[in-house]
Amino acid sequence: MKTEQGIKIQVKQTFPLTIKRLGINGEGVGYFKRQVVFVPGALPGEEVVVEATKINPKFAEAKIKKIRVKSPHRVQAPCPFYEQCGGCQLQHLQYSQQLKEKQDIIIQSLERHSKLKADKLDIRQTIGMENPWGYRNKSSFQVAQKNGKVLAGLYGMNSHQLIDIEHCAVQHSQTNEAVTTVKTILEDLQIPIYNEKTRKGIVRTIVARVGVETGELQVVLITTQKELPKKQSIIEEIQQRLPQVKSIVQNINGEKTSLIFGEETLALAGEEFIQETLGDLQFELSARTFFQLNPIQTVKLYDEVKKAADLTGNEKVLDAYCGVGTIGLWLADQAAEVRGMDVIPESIDDAKKNAKRHGFTNTKYVPGKAEEILPKWVKKGWKPDVIVVDPPRTGLDNQLLQTILQVKPEKLIYVSCNPSTLAKDIQTLSSKYDVKYIQPVDMFPHTAHVEAVAKLILK
């Protein structure tokens, strides 16, 4: 009779550990008495002494007490808030090595969640950035007040302590400047700051977004109510101190929620949109429009999709999670027709506007779910040759997977932001599809995130 192997590790127990690899969240992974142990901050190849902090049924968590043998790729994290903030996980790992580990995270996911032989697949080297700092075009910093001083930043790891971040190393310099300036304005004008505990106060978040190619800046103040004291003074101060701001917006969110935006948005000054350029395409970004956070790498990612689609001008292309139409429009000049759908109706309105603005007449966008709309189109005789999917972290809906297997497009291009769900979905699709290659792209340097473009061909 086999009994479940019990956990031998105790909380606060210290023991030596050799780190074998990086986990999906950027933590070091080692084995003690055949038990998986996750250690934040530890790197592959390191020999460490750790202290167990938490025991779960299938794994343990631990913290580093001492590094006995250091990885040759370990570096000093340049950001002073790195240890507390938790926004980045890999600043202590040399950038060139981060790219190798991200490729390895994809290989591990395939080994764990699929029956495919990862060593037989063409899993390419991760495409990185020349300058992996200051790349994020948008920051959403919570605000709080301490001894009359206004703080803006992120909540620390596993804590309710707001870390006042003066300068975020991965944020674009213009969003950093905007947040710091707006913070000072709120302090100077003594605007009531929201307090999470008492639920009193008005301003809760400062959101800043920059058009990296255009230099246009948008500032959004998220408030608990419509009435904003000294509204005119706030607007005038922002315009005076940050002349590059094209758009000042207020968004109202009075709910007790971790969601940043509420439903109501008011333009306070300037334009409602800022402009951004990706390759040959122009986009209007309103406060709540979803847009890729790293436009420099987005161009590389979309070029990889274009390369994988390898269009001749005759293909019908389906963009299954089309958002505001970016990927489909990237391909539209080489396709016979592009159709897209998305569950957010506002995104579909934007996709139609974007297609019109660029003069594309070979596009069609409808709101709804791909797994419900596609079968209707197929019944009417419209069958896609190429399907592009860019699903959320949860991966493809099972019904959509089954629909794809029934419709059988020649090519399927899977844009993934989560290696685990990519591996599971590829496994499901492997009954009808071969994986031609997987190309990882680093969209978020210094974090554990890894994006990938997988090209699948009908068997």
Beta bridge partners of residue 366, listed in sequence order: 341
| Dihedral (CA of 376, 380, 381, 382) sign | negative
Q: Which distant-in-sequence residues (6+ apart) come within 8 Å of 294 by Cβ?
A: 135, 136, 137, 443, 444
Please report, to the nearest 10 degrees, the dihedral formed by the alpha carbons of residues 304, 310, 313, 316 taken in order. -80
Helix (H, G, I), strand (E, B) or coil at 37: strand
Distance CA 60, CA 53 (A): 8
Going through 56-167 in order, the beta strands assigned E by DSSP cover 60-69, 138-146, 149-155, 162-164
Residue 127 token pair: 């495409």
Residue 24 token pair: 């999906």
Cα separations (Å) of 108 from 126, 316, 386, 403, 420? 15, 34, 28, 28, 9
Helix (H, G, I), strand (E, B) or coil at 405: helix
Indicate left, alpha or beta for 355 from its phi (over 0: left) and psi (-120 to 50: alpha).
Answer: alpha
Residue 236 token pair: 């005038």
Task: Please name which of 183, 255, 185 lies closest in space to residue 225, comparing C-alpha atoms.
Answer: 255
Residue 230 token pair: 């000294």
The answer to whether the beta carbons of residues 260 and 207 sit under 8 Å apart is yes
| Dihedral (CA of 119, 123, 127, 132) sign | negative
The answer to whether the beta carbons of residues 204 and 222 sit under 8 Å apart is yes
- Catalytic residue, chosen from 79, 88, 168, 417, is 417
Distance CA 30, CA 14 (A): 14
Residue 366 token pair: 């409808």
Task: Please name which of 176, 231, 180 lies closest in space to residue 203, comparing C-alpha atoms.
Answer: 231
Distance CA 364, CA 354 (A): 12
Residue 332 token pair: 């539209």
Residue 132 token pair: 């992996």
The answer to whether the beta carbons of residues 178 and 207 sit under 8 Å apart is no
- Is 417 one of the annotated active-site residues of the chain? yes
What positions carry a catalytic annotation? 417
